Chain A
């Protein structure tokens, strides 16, 4: 027999049935589902063929398959529903509409996520039930019942496919098996019923189209029965008695059915293929070859026979896949290659979609690798084709391919170096619950490869496996290691960031141990800083920056947050980044009181302001706005002196700089200025006034504009410095009353400390009274109480009551001497006349 023709030879030796059964695994289950989901001509596997229909289609009904083919399922459903609703339920048109609507809905069902299936299943059955309930003896009842059974079989097939790639799940397996057995019985009964109707029609010598329609229905039922039996066999362990029995029954039913459908070449071809499949499962490869032979021969010279449309051109996808598998089973690798070439040509990845043939080609590549010495090259080819399957058929096709690879490669998987094969093995291990085994393989492979993209894929899969095994810390470490090993690759920034995400999740989960949480929090922050440092221009780095800033702010570290937000690469930093950094620095600096309650200036703010300004270089134009704001609000006098208000764009900043420089500033442009900024500006002006008492009048007027009418210390200071101490006293009273009861003693003291700065004796007497009242309310002998007493001594001195101050100092040393030596020394100095 020529090897150049598509003819299978008998195998010289019989292969064990178990190998055949294994080879079958993962093939049949998806066939019909994919057909239903992908073929544009048929809306669903269960859709009624034109010759099954009761009568000629209504106008518009024939467009439903076209709409489905274009993915317009909602429109197709609406059209079918319209037809059904418009028809009288007892009519043939109603049956047509119901079948069409059920077909569209089952297509939606097959494309829906698995967890939504029950909802869609009821919707698919509904139109059929509506007609059957209204008219149980409907003229087309047999067609409707056939459609009902076909829907259940299609759903069961899809569930069976899922179960094939999901180890365990015995309960679901039994449920699907029960459905298939039940529907098999229904179909058998229905076939019998239709056969009786045909016999009656013949007896009545009815030669109308009615007999043709009944015979077409019987043929469809016969094919569906074989399909159901084959599907049932898939649910049993390959090679088991049950699986063999199901295959034998399918084979026998197929033979019977073939005798019925002699005049229907399309159904005949389907039955031949299914019989061949059954034989293959039974281990009868040679007989399978014999059965398939006529189909292949017909395909070879199909161009000469235009009466066989299904076989025209070349074999359809399931038949081609079956032929390839048989060739592989017989170890006829060159033949398998030629069969595949008829569809795939020289560019397999560009060939038309053929889900079953794609998997058959994978089997062919695996078989080809067995006889080769160049194992690595073949493994790469297998890996590349697996990737192609994923791209052509999606994740589910990839899952089936992985199952085949794991099944056929067996032990040689352990030595595989191709990352895609390693991924397949690991995925199978994961599904089987061996998460740690999968993780170790992936970790090892990720470290072993020099290809950064492949390393990234392996690391992600490895981390997922480790996470599933409860090893989040190890997962994060794997991602970190791989990203650092390929740190020149931009894509690794994302991986590095993911390590931080995993570690953060771990920290949140283990929130019961504060020490551990603190340590892990530091590590997450370090990882984020590292991402920023190593991949500064990457989008992942920006995500890391935002996250780090948010974390630091949440953990009460505003200065560190501002440092993290400050651009490192001045040339690429955007205006938004400069703006964010400036805002965070202002927030951090404003959080530290520049002026203490006793109206002394804290130098820490100016020191921190210098640190902030280092992040906003004067030579970077984009940083100018932030720098000007920082200087205006927190900068020392030397920075202000060096600024030119006319060069400042922002009105508020220009106003503030002018005030600080002692120039005519005009009215404060108050709109849109945040309270925090106004408060910081007021504090800055108070600090200036403390440093330069001669300017207090002008500064007080400016502070009054900033402070507004609310009773604040800033407003009180503004009133004091503009020579209105009584008004200031009223504001201070309101300010104290606005505090909580527990805070009022300290607030009273603060109010006194502010008031004592007024250059009036009455104001100082008032301050003395406030201090005395505060001392009476504060815990006796506390630090705050001593602070109040020392302030009292100072006020007494300012009021020229030196003797009283001496007496008070001595009295305190005698009755409540402070523990702090420094404070004690201050009392001592006051106690000496």
Chain B
């Protein structure tokens, strides 16, 4: 009969191999907002759209600045706190527009995630990352 200690050891090895110590991936939305081709949408065959149009938050790299410039629908927002205040105001209207975060290639992933967090924290549920069409 196999000693119990061997069994326990094998179980310990199994769990060690199958466990992960990273933050759960499902907390970060993995959806991507693909660019829309002109003329491919329209008509009433599409699902009923919201009267609240999508918003875009662009993170633009600007020469001389250490951090990215935040532009909400091309309006410049001074910093993350101002962005948070504006988004909270929008969310307070009861509107849940899709928000697309568009970081420039030079912008760090950390900054993009920070903006993402701020928008989510302000109450917007659908936050997407923009990708360029290949």
**Residues on A facing B (Cβ under 8 Å):** 733, 736, 741-742, 744-745, 748, 768-770, 772-773, 775-777, 780-781, 792, 796, 804, 807-808, 810-811, 814-817
Contact = CB atoms under 8 A, between A and B. Distances in A.
A772 B42 contact: no
Interface string B47-58: 011111101000
A814 B90 CA distance: 7
Contacts, number: 65
Contacts of A745: 42
Interface in B24-59: 38-39, 41-44, 46, 48-53, 55
Contact of A777 (B41, B72, B86, B97): B41
Given A772-B51, A814-B89, A815-B55, A742 B44 contact: no
Contact of A748 (B42, B48, B95, B97): B42
B115 to A, nearest CB: 16
Contact of B94 (A768, A807, A815): A807
B73 to A, nearest CB: 5
A758 to B, nearest CB: 16
A811 B124 CA distance: 14
Contacts of B42: 744-745, 748, 773, 776-777
Interface in B12-28: none
Contact of B44 (A769, A780, A796, A804): A769
A816 B51 contact: no
Contact of B73 (A776, A777, A804, A816): A816
A780 B58 CA distance: 15
B107 to A, nearest CB: 22
B100 to A, nearest CB: 11
- Choose among A770, A810, A814, A816 the residue with the greatest number of B CB atoms under 10 Å from its CB: A814
B41 A776 contact: yes
Contact of A808 (B41, B51, B74, B89): B51
B51 A780 contact: no
Contacts of B86: 814
A772 B39 contact: no
Nearest to B39: A741
A375 to B, nearest CB: 85
A815 B90 contact: yes
B93 interface: yes
A151 to B, nearest CB: 77
Contact of B53 (A733, A776, A804, A807): A776
Contact of B51 (A733, A741, A777, A804): A804
Contacts of A808: 51-52
Given A768-B51, A775-B53, 6 more contacts: A776-B41, A776-B46, A780-B53, A810-B93, A814-B90, A815-B97
Question: Which 10 A-B pairs have CB atoms at the shortest separation, nearest pair first?
Answer: A741-B39, A772-B49, A807-B93, A777-B42, A776-B49, A811-B95, A816-B73, A815-B73, A808-B51, A814-B90
A773 B44 contact: yes
Contacts of B39: 741-742, 744
Given A781-B73, A814-B89, A792 B38 contact: no
B87 to A, nearest CB: 9
25 contacts: A733-B44, A736-B43, A741-B38, A741-B39, A744-B39, A744-B42, A769-B48, A770-B44, A772-B48, A772-B50, A773-B44, A775-B51, A776-B41, A776-B49, A777-B41, A777-B42, A780-B73, A781-B74, A796-B51, A811-B93, A814-B86, A814-B90, A815-B72, A815-B97, A816-B73
